[in-house]
Amino acid sequence: MFFWIHDGRILPNPPATYADRVHKIHPGGKSSPVSGKGEETSPPPTSSFLHRSPGDVYQESAGQTEKPVYFLHEIMSKPAFSLPSSETISNCLDFMLENGIRHLPITNDLGALVGFVSDRDILEKSKSYERDWPISDIMTKRVLVGSPGSEIRGVTKVLLEERIGCIPVVDDDNHPIGIITRSDLLRLLLKYPNLNIIA
């Protein structure tokens, strides 16, 4: 499921998503219908396999048969780095550089998502704003987010149709728990070259 958050409030009219009956996606391009009812789901993995060197990925995938990858929690980068909206523009940029990230969810005092900023936003807007001003002055306040159980084809569709580079993933309290980027989807294709993620 995907939905917009604006200034910390969930907006109506979420982007269109797939119906309840979706197809599981397998590396060989085969798919099997699943209703989503009565199915046992495994807990989210503790770490993503997507951030390894290409050599390690190819070596590991050489002996694999069918490792299905279906949902957002299986490929998102986690944990999600975030900073409060009271943090300065300068500190946010330094934080992103130190952690090697390009996208940063912004939260309120309770840890709920209220905005989003990219390194490009900071570099472009910091020319017009003082760098010791709060990040809330330049952050994007309308953010498209996804839930951990969102299906990968839906993620791909939303990224393409909304022309955005990433989607923060939030829990039931709108706390950021991960993030999915176009780079993550490319790494998924590197991991499973025959994976068909587009229905």
Distance (Å, whole) CA 82 – CA 175: 10
Q: Mean pLDDT: which of 22-26, 38-42, 155-159 is highest?
A: 155-159
Through-space distance between the first and last CA atoms of the chain, rounded to whole angstroms? 17
Question: What pLDDT, in 10s, does the model give residues 53-80?
Answer: 666 665 665 555 455 667 888 888 888 8
Give 25-53 pLDDT, tens digit per residue: 444 444 444 444 444 444 444 445 555 66
The tens digit of pLDDT for each residue in 85-144 reads 999 999 999 999 999 999 999 999 999 999 999 988 888 887 777 888 999 999 999 999
Cα angle 139, 144, 148 (rounded to 5 degrees) comes to: 120
Task: Classify residue 130 as exposed, middle or buried by CB count within 10 Å of its CB (0-12, 13-18, 19+).
Answer: exposed
**Which residue in this structure is represented by tokens 């119906």?**
19
- Show the domains of the chain with their CATH numbers: 2-11+68-191 (3.10.580.10)
